[in-house]
Amino acid sequence: PEIGFFTVESRKKETFFGNLTEEQINFVKDPKDVVILKGIVGSGKTTSLAYKVAYEIKVKHEDPQHFLFLTFTGKAVNLFRATLEKLLEEENVKDITACTFHQFGQMVLRYGIERLGFSEDFRVITDKEAEDILKAFISLSPQAKTVLREIKLAKANLITPEQLEAMAESEWTREVAYFYKRYQEELRRSNSLDYEDLILYAVELLKKHPDIRKDVQERFKFIVIDEFQDVNKALFDLILLLKGPNNKLWVAGDEDQSIYGFRGASPVYLRNLEIKFPEASKHFLSVNFRTARKIVEAGLNLLSHSRVNSTMRTLNTLVQEEGNVSISYFENEVKEAQFVAEKINELKEEGIDYTEIAVIYRTNEYSRSIEDALKKYEIPYTILEGESFYDLPEIKVALGFFNHYLGNYSGQNIEFLLKHFLKFPSDLVTKVIKKYEKSGRVDVSTERGEFSVKLKALNIFLSRLKREANGEELPSKEPQEILEDIIDFGQTQGWFSTKSMETLQEFLISLQDMELKDVRDVFNYVSLMREVGVSATRHYGVLLLTAHKAKGLEFNTVFITGLVEGFFPLGKKTLKREHLEEERRLLYVALTRAQKNLFLTYPLYYKNEKKEPSRFILELVKRR
């Protein structure tokens, strides 16, 4: 059954997208040193930041090299750059430093990490490598992931192993502190840093060494921060260290979209910034550009129940359509999933493409019945599980060649190429790798002629890379030039499909943008990008994803499933008020991914266990 939803009466206003509102223009022209921009979802905060940067360069004639834009994901950086490219000359855009916080942390550390006891050729490890380090001295290996999560949270709050041990009130925290200390010792021994260290040590370097801090402040006179609501203690301190007496600081954020508490993020830092700079100028964007009215109203209703002061009081949207919001309940999760599949087919017949539809749930556990239903109705779908672009097979092959160039003859360098692209049988792969690991060459003495030809070609290329690395062929090449050789040779040999070539070309563009000079830097760059969540672009059909993964995405139609107590909000998130507040904000983020249609569903029974409707359902339909 479908529950009747409210109707919103509103005054129609002509929709426009290419022009700034008066609120945005006031922000762009504000001359204050510290300017704080808040705004509702879809109000153009990032666009406003880009216009403000362009205004200073184009109208005030400021040097583009003095601007630093920081945010959390590569996608957000690209969106910011794309807006700037419409407003400024290409050379001006290239002169602006726009990157993620962690890329910037790496940049700072390159400037003087030797002062902290590391050498400048430090390596950034992945989460998988971090877990493996912990597993080496944790007897219960499943605990490694949990301990790593605690270590990450400690680093996000700038807490050292010694401080964690001193403040420990339980045996568990003391154990974590012990493993944290051993983990840091191992990282230092191997001259390695993890993702969180890039901020932790950047803060330490800038705090302890005024000369480096002064150099950075003079280099970047304009500090521009997006998504400030996702800042944690470490990032907050980093930003304050960048803001010298002569620097301007412009930030944008929305407390109602703060959903990363498990990473140490909190909306409190946006409020702390106002306290730190009482003279700061404050702006608020109240107009939504992308979302239908009923969905906007549902979001306003939900947030009105927050016990924390919300920035959102009245909302306005320039989208003329009313949109559709419905809440439906079903006997169980199977019937719920069947409804989702049938409704998707109806929408497809109405002309909405599968790729414009998303099914969102709180945890991955809830996707099982939805997958079964979509398969039954032959609806194509993709599950967004966080696969990184940099984990795609083509990227692994390229990294294997880069590793070979550095003289590391690990069998993994060529294993993926042989198995995935050249389709070698397992027994032959084992034989080829055995010789490769000894000499850096592959064994071509096989009776199977078609494989022998491929191995001879591979040997030619491996030898060429080896000569270049040893300086036998001049001039020496930069990483992007080596990748071009990999692409050209692979294309000549027919190793890669058209789609694979596109992936490698995309990788090449990213290396060219970063202007990396050393092959070793490629591995640090890839480790970093894996962590900041650059998703693989291979998405077809309906997208299935968790609410956290949905942040930053938009769809014509969204289904939010499993709206029952224990799932949304999660049971463990209902004990503390701040956790429950974050669960409410998370639902707000999820529902505002929808532009036109929003379907909210829940089962009366899940796995034969009776469930209570989520407390948020009533909040969605009734203003507090």
Indicate whether 200 belongs to any domain: no
Give the mean pLDDT of 485-492.
90
Give the mean pLDDT of 226-239.
96
CB within 8 Å of 179: residues ≥ 6 apart = 134, 137, 138, 147, 151
Q: Which of 155, 190, 225 is the last residue of a domain?
A: 190
CB within 8 Å of 244: residues ≥ 6 apart = 213, 214, 217
pLDDT at 176: 94
pLDDT at 524: 81
Helical segments of 470-557, H only: 479-493, 498-514, 519-531
Q: Is 282 helix (H, G, I), strand (E, B) or coil?
A: strand
**Most confident among 84-88, 139-143, 342-346, 579-583 (mean pLDDT):** 342-346
pLDDT at 530: 66
Q: Are 424 and 493 contained in the same domain?
A: yes
Give the mean pLDDT of 398-413.
88
Residue 184, domain CATH: 1.10.10
Q: Is 381 helix (H, G, I), strand (E, B) or coil?
A: strand
pLDDT at 382: 84
pLDDT at 385: 64
How many other C-beta atoms lie within 10 A of the C-beta of residue 328?
A: 17
State which H helix or E strand residue 328 sits in.
strand 324-332
pLDDT at 349: 95
pLDDT tens-digit map of 550-572: 888 899 999 999 999 999 998 87
Q: Which of these, 93, 13, 11, lies nearest to 54 by C-alpha position? A: 93
Q: Are 337 and 466 contained in the same domain?
A: no
Q: Are 46 and 146 contained in the same domain?
A: no
Indicate whether 11 belongs to any domain: no
For the record, the structure tokens of 407 come out as: 């003289």
Q: Are 101 and 220 contained in the same domain?
A: yes
Within 13 Å and on the Cβ side, how many CA atoms surround 186? 17
Least confident of 213-222, 279-288, 459-468: 459-468
Q: Are 248 and 340 contained in the same domain?
A: no
pLDDT at 503: 83
pLDDT tens-digit map of 56-88: 999 999 999 999 999 988 888 888 999 999 999
Q: Are 87 and 214 contained in the same domain?
A: yes
Q: Are 228 and 362 contained in the same domain?
A: no
Q: Please give the annotated binding residues for ATP, written as ranges.
A: 39-46
Whether residue 141 has pLDDT greater than 80: no
Question: What per-residue string of b and e applies to 501-530 under the rule 16 or more CB within 10 Å gives b?
Answer: eebbeebbebbeebebeebbbbbbbbbbbb
Angle formed by the axes of helices 393-405 and 479-493, nearest 10°: 120
Q: How far apart, in Å, are the Cα atoms of 369 and each of 348, 530, 607?
A: 21, 29, 10
Give the mean pLDDT of 118-123.
90
Q: Please give the annotated binding residues, written as ranges.
A: 39-46
Between vectors from CA 294 to CA 289 and to CA 299, what angle results, nearest 5°? 80
User: End-to-end CA distance of the chain, in Å?
Assistant: 26
Whether residue 5 has pLDDT greater than 50: no
pLDDT at 473: 56
Q: Which of 165, 190, 215 is the last residue of a domain?
A: 190
Instruction: Name the domain count of the chain.
Output: 4
Q: Are 379 and 485 contained in the same domain?
A: no
Give the mean pLDDT of 360-373.
91
Give the mean pLDDT of 253-262.
85
| DSSP structure string for 563-599 | -BTBBTTBGGGSSSHHHHHHHHHHHHHHHTTEEEEEE
Indicate whether 238 belongs to any domain: yes
| DSSP structure string for 138-183 | -SSTHHHHHHHHHHHHHHHTT--HHHHHHH--SHHHHHHHHHHHHH
pLDDT at 411: 85
Whether residue 120 has pLDDT greater than 90: no
pLDDT at 14: 33
Q: Could you tell me which residue, 167 or 387, shows the higher pLDDT?
A: 167
For the record, the structure tokens of 348 come out as: 């497809």
CB within 8 Å of 43: residues ≥ 6 apart = 285, 286, 287, 288, 289
Q: Between β-strands 123-124 and 248-253, what pairing exists: parallel, antiparallel or unpaired? A: unpaired
What's the sign of the alpha-carbon dihedral 65, 71, 72, 77? Answer: negative
Indicate whether 411 belongs to any domain: yes
Integer-rounded Cα radius of gyration of the chain: 26
pLDDT at 448: 65
Whether residue 613 has pLDDT greater than 90: yes
Q: Are 276 and 237 contained in the same domain?
A: yes
Give the mean pLDDT of 34-40.
94
Name the average pLDDT for the chain. 87
pLDDT at 234: 97
Q: Which of these, 574, 594, 560, lies nearest to 362 by C-alpha position? A: 560
Q: Is 339 helix (H, G, I), strand (E, B) or coil?
A: helix
Q: What is the pLDDT confidence band of residue 434, given thresholds at 50, 70 and 90?
A: confident
How many other C-beta atoms lie within 10 A of the C-beta of residue 166?
A: 10
How many other C-beta atoms lie within 10 A of the C-beta of residue 223?
A: 21
* Cα gap 194→181, rounded to integer Å: 14
Partners of 358 in the beta sheet? 543, 558
Range of the domain at 94: 22-107+205-287
Whether residue 1 has pLDDT greater than 70: no
Indicate whether 546 belongs to any domain: yes
pLDDT at 164: 96
Q: Which of 132, 162, 190 is the last residue of a domain?
A: 190
pLDDT at 556: 96
Least confident of 190-199, 535-544, 606-615: 535-544
Q: Could you tell me which residue, 425 or 573, shows the higher pLDDT?
A: 425
Please, are residues 330 and 343 in contact by the beta-carbon 8 Å criterion? no
| DSSP structure string for 57-110 | HHTS---GGGEEEEES-HHHHHHHHHHHHTTS-HHHHHHSEEEEHHHHHHHHHH
Indicate whether 506 belongs to any domain: yes
| DSSP structure string for 207-252 | HH-HHHHHHHHHH-SEEEES-GGG--HHHHHHHHHH--TT-EEEEE
Q: Which of these, 378, 368, 364, lies nearest to 334 by C-alpha position? A: 368
Give the mean pLDDT of 14-32.
77
Q: Are 471 and 594 contained in the same domain?
A: no
- The DSSP symbol for 256 reads G
Q: Is 192 helix (H, G, I), strand (E, B) or coil?
A: strand
Torsion of CA 218, 222, 227, 229, to 10 degrees: 70
How many other C-beta atoms lie within 10 A of the C-beta of residue 605?
A: 15
Please, are residues 203 and 234 in contact by the beta-carbon 8 Å criterion? yes
Q: Are 163 and 34 contained in the same domain?
A: no
Indicate whether 524 belongs to any domain: no
Q: Are 250 and 347 contained in the same domain?
A: no
Indicate whether 523 belongs to any domain: no
pLDDT at 522: 86
Residue 314, domain CATH: 3.40.50.300
Torsion of CA 230, 551, 195, 251, to 10 degrees: -30
Please, are residues 319 and 289 in contact by the beta-carbon 8 Å criterion? yes
